[in-house]
Structure 1
Amino acid sequence: MLIRRYRKGEESALFDVYYSAIHLVACRDYTPQQIEAWAPRDLDASLWERRIRGINPFVAELDGTVVAYADVQASGYIDHFFVSGAHPRRGLGTMLMKRILEEAARLGLRELTSDVSRTAQGFFERFGFGVVEQRNPVLRGITIPNALMRLELQNAR
């Protein structure tokens, strides 16, 4: 597996990862209405492209196929962290999180934060993140509960 920076033109592949992660995995913890509001198939492609270009994620590639991606912003915020629903439990998330932690150290960040789905909270906890606050954001008129999670970093500059 290769972890590298996103390349312009991969937005559609990243959308497929996002969509499958939500529709095939997060569906265990959310209702069909929540899943559809969170990840509709007809999401505006130009908005998606701008979002992906803005977050500039790391991409996990397996046999030439994009199978996961995650970002960390200069503020320490992890906006997206998704593993394809077709490739669960293969260590892809772990490898991506390790890359995010390396990048955080390189940037000298003091903490990482993320709004984490119910589905991913246990995964983030395994890396030392703790729940700061349970939240109930509304997306497309539907409440999709998540948690603000934080990890204090030891080796910040």
Structure 2
Amino acid sequence: MIFRKYQQEDLPQILRLFHDTVHFICSGDYTAAQLDAWAPDSFDTDVQKRWHCTLTEHFTVIAEEGLVITGFGDIDDTGYLDRLYVHKDYQRQGIASGICDRLEAHASPNIITTHASITAKPFFQKRGYHVAARQTVERHGILLTNFIMKKE
């Protein structure tokens, strides 16, 4: 397993990983409609450009095994941990912890904030994050619950 920086050619594999992981791993906590709103089957060009932009602007870590991207995560300069996803076939192998260790080490603020799904909340709690607020967010007209979590 290697950890490296994001490259533009990673984007198609990252988008597929995101979709598949959300639909497989989070299916016990969210409805099919919520999963579709959160992670649609396809991403238009504008969405792909936005993802590439933020992954490039943020400190982004890619976990890779051979030619397979097994996980990714990113954090911005304010300490907002935006995304952290591990391939559905590579769960519970320490990949999320390895990525998160690198993201947290890179963060310059004293407080790291993330918006964690119901599914991810226990992972972040084990890492010392606390729930600052429960919130409902809207994606494509569908409401989803997540948690604003902070680590100081």
TM-score (norm 2): 0.93
Residue 44 (structure 1) aligned with residue 44 (structure 2)? yes
The superposition leaves residues 64-112 of structure 1 with CA deviations (integer Å, 9 ceiling, x where unpaired) of 21110000100000111111112111111011111112112xxx32110
CA RMSD of aligned residues (A): 1.1
Bigger fraction of residues in strand: 2
**Pairwise CA distance, 1:49:** 3.2
**Pairwise CA distance, 1:62:** 1.1
**Pairwise CA distance, 1:48:** 2.2
Q: Distance in 2 between matches of 1:20 and 1:3?
A: 21
**Pairwise CA distance, 1:43:** 2.1
2:34–2:144: 8 Å Cα contact kept in structure 1? yes
Residue 8 (structure 1) aligned with residue 8 (structure 2)? yes
| Aligned residue runs from structure 1 range 1-157, under 5 A | 1-56=1-56, 57-104=60-107, 108-152=108-152
How many residue pairs get aligned? The number is 149
Further displaced range: 45-54 or 83-92? 45-54
2:8–2:52: 8 Å Cα contact kept in structure 1? no
**Pairwise CA distance, 1:116:** 0.6
1:13–1:66: 8 Å Cα contact kept in structure 2? yes
1:23–1:85: 8 Å Cα contact kept in structure 2? no
